Amino acid sequence: MKKEIMKLFFKYVVNSFVIVLIGCLIILFFVLHFNKDLPGLEELEQFNPNLVSSVYSVDGEVLKEYATENRVLVPLDELSDTLINALLSTEDKNFYNHWGMNVKRTLIAAVTNVIFSRKSPQGASTITQQLARTLYLSMEKNYIRKIKELIVAIEIEKTYTKDEILEMYLNSVFWGHSCYGIQSASNFYFGKNAYELDLGEMTMLIGILPAPNPFSPFNHHKRATRRRNIVLNNMLEEGCITKLDYVKTINKITNTIEQKDIGIAPYFTEEIRQEIAGNESFNIHKDGLKIYSTLNSVMQKNAEKAYSEQLDYLQKRLDKRLKQNVFLLRKLYEKYYPNNNIPNVSNDSLLTLLPSKCKKVQGAFIAMNPNNGAILAMIGGADFTESKFNRAVQAKRQPGSTFKPIVYTAAIDNGYSASTQLLNQPVAIKQPDGSIWTPSNYDNSTGGLTTLRSGLQHSTNLISIAIVQELITPSVVIDYAHKMGITTYLPAYSSIALGSGDVLIKEMVSAYSIFPNQGIWNKPYMIEKILDRQGNEIYKSPQFSKEALSKETAYIMLNMMQTVIKSGTGGKVRWKYHFYYPAGGKTGTTNDFTDAWFIGFTKDIVAGVWVGVDDPAVSLGNGMSGDKAALPIWAKFMKSTYDSLGLAKKEFIRPEGVREYRICKESKKLPTEFCPVETEIFNVKDAPKTKCKIHGRDVKNKHSDIDF
């Protein structure tokens, strides 16, 4: 009997050993077979998931996020214990006690799936297994993937602590709507940081984990609420929350936020994306970059408000004109279809006969810091979702009279002064094609001798023409335009004096920045710095400065452009829009009112506005000049920006080489004791050196032809 017992025992031991050996061999086979497809130790030790890259304004606003996977890392110690308990009570109660696999749950799930032949196998994955699947494996549902998942989970448990695994899981798992990680999900669904979530919000997030799309709070709020309640019940059973917390939360609606639109300043952020898209050293959609831009979100919002108000007004005017055109079309139909035999067409269908581009007023706005070239605000069109074409940096339009300051700059820099006089009289200019060009002033007026200051102040076309006819040449003007940052082709004809060449809005604004910046031109830029996920600076926009003009010329032009705003074509800035800070600027209007401009500056901001229709053959409407169509945007932006930011009132700095002189009002020479006197500023080297000969003593004592 004893022998038989020993024999049976020995047989049992042998059989058990054989079974264990076979099991080990099978496991070894699977490990060796699948190991070549599994991540190595070095890969397991590196947790570098794809992260969202964020673009920040100078005042800390998130302007835009770029990602293939919307993920922001958050340390475990920043998350509440309640959130951790919500996760563990629902997804893995024994997380801190297993070695990567919950044997009991796995066996139960395996038997259930075999017996009931489930098409959708019952899950039993631990948090570690889910992490293995998320980071290193596919979402394919089969037994081979399950074995791989288990092997990787064991390796993860050997490599990381439990808290590290939990942190990686919470920063990796998918929460629907392109959100990966608890921080991105919290922000997307509730507009909060993960550490700010209340009990209802965190349990709703944990509840949707098994199937984020079907349980999405946006698309299926009732389902998401039922899932929230399951998590709350699990937490109550595990003693993680009190009965009172459970009752309060389960009877409360957990609301999600309205989804964000395309972000702040979409034309600007798209320019940033394009600037760094070709850089092979980093990937904006994967590397979790922090992109610190130059844009000020307050200025951007102020610009957008002023812009939208004015474009609404201009659009209504254009729509009214289109309706009038439809009326005329109907009259034509009546003429050619007598006896009221008009084809069955309505006003709307007649409207479709007009070119589609005629129906949309567009505009561009850009503001810069003249002291360094930083772009502070940018609008590239009426609707980014409708048109990605950025008119602030891509559109080439005729600048009209906003080009005149460049013409006057060329004259001032070549020895002429603000008091130089030219005849305000019509001219006939032969064109290269043999035709005769007879330009006129905006109001068809003419006059006598007119100073350069007055010519710019009132935007007198005939004075600008006289400058390139009598003082300098069109080629000289073009040379100065290039010095001031204009890169587009400009024709060397007299018409350049009236802004006949096409320019880019951004380049015109940067050219104007030279005046308040004492002659220094700065290349416009958008990115202050980019940091990688470790906080290292890896990029910044190239910055470049050069002396484009002398301090003296820049100041004299600045001073003349102040006159434009004080009492010239830009006067509405003061008397209508009540912006009283030291400023200069210039209006611009092209033929048939197709382009309306205003560009102006203070000591700290230079901004430019263009308004028009993409098709340059379409007019904004009769009378829609720069001061009516574009200036309101600039003036409202400046006033709201200075008011809202509390910016200081800064005077422009006059260089030592510019002085104020008393001169004769008529001759513009040094006055005699008999001259009517005024003051004017001059570059010292170009100041008047001879006395007036109109009001001298000899003239005063000369006998009249009339005897009394």
Q: Residue 652 — very low, low, confident or very high, per pLDDT cuts 50/70/90?
A: very high
- Per residue in 159-216, pLDDT (tens digit) is 889 999 999 889 888 888 878 889 989 988 998 999 999 999 999 999 999 888 899 9
Q: Give 601-611 pLDDT, tens digit per residue.
A: 999 999 999 99
Q: Please report which confidence band the pLDDT of residue 654 belongs to, taking 50, 70 and 90 as the band edges.
A: very high
Q: Which of 98-107, 281-290, 547-556 has the highest mean pLDDT?
A: 547-556
Residue 87, helix vs strand vs coil: helix
pLDDT score, position 148: 73
pLDDT exceeds cutoff 60 at 24: no
* Calpha distance 610→586 (Å, rounded): 12
Which has the minimum average pLDDT: 13-22, 167-176, 239-248, 374-383?
13-22
Segment 418-442, tens digit of pLDDT: 999 999 999 999 888 888 999 999 8
**Greatest pairwise CA separation for the chain in angstroms:** 169
Percent of the chain beyond pLDDT 90? 64
- Model confidence at 143, in pLDDT bands (50, 70, 90)? low
Q: Report pLDDT for 150.
A: 77
Nearest to 509 by CA among 490, 491, 532, 486: 486
Say yes or no to pLDDT of 343 above 60. Answer: no
- The amino acid present at 556, given as its one-letter code, is I
629 pLDDT band, cuts 50/70/90, is very high
Mean pLDDT computed over 219-236: 95
Nearest to 664 by CA among 688, 640, 685: 688
Which pLDDT score is estimated for 703?
Answer: 44
Give residue 322's pLDDT.
Answer: 72
Higher pLDDT, 15 or 595: 595
Q: How far apart are CA 284 and CA 272, in angstroms?
A: 10
According to DSSP, residue 239 is labeled: T
Q: What is the pTM of this model?
A: 0.77
Mean pLDDT across 95-103: 78
- What percentage of the chain reaches a pLDDT higher than 70? 81
Q: The dihedral of CA 476, 479, 480, 481: what is its sign?
A: positive
pLDDT of residue 704: 41
pLDDT score for 359: 75
- What is the band of 120 on the pLDDT scale with cuts at 50, 70, 90? very low
pLDDT at 324 over 90: no
Q: 651 pLDDT exceeds 50? A: yes
Per-residue pLDDT, averaged over 245-250, amounts to: 95
* pLDDT tens digits, 382-427: 999 888 999 999 999 999 999 999 999 999 999 999 999 999 999 9
pLDDT at 112: 54
Tokens representing 325 are: 């055109």
pLDDT (tens digit per residue) in 438-479 = 999 988 999 999 999 999 999 999 999 999 999 999 999 999
pLDDT of 660 reads: 97
CA distances from 462 to 38, 193, 423, 444, 584 (A): 80, 63, 8, 10, 22
Residues 6 or more apart in contact with residue 98 via CB below 8 angstroms: 126, 128
Residue predicted with more confidence, 108 or 379? 379
617: which 2 tokens?
């053959």
Count the residues in the chain.
Answer: 708
Place of tokens 């209508």: 576
Q: Among 274-288, 403-417, 675-689, which stretch is predicted with the lowest mean pLDDT?
A: 274-288
Higher pLDDT, 134 or 345: 134
- Regarding predicted confidence, which is higher, 151 or 314? 314
State whether residue 103 is helix, strand or coil.
Answer: helix
Relative to beta strand 527-531, strand 537-539 is: antiparallel
Query: What average pLDDT is seen over the chain?
Result: 86
pLDDT in the model for residue 66: 84
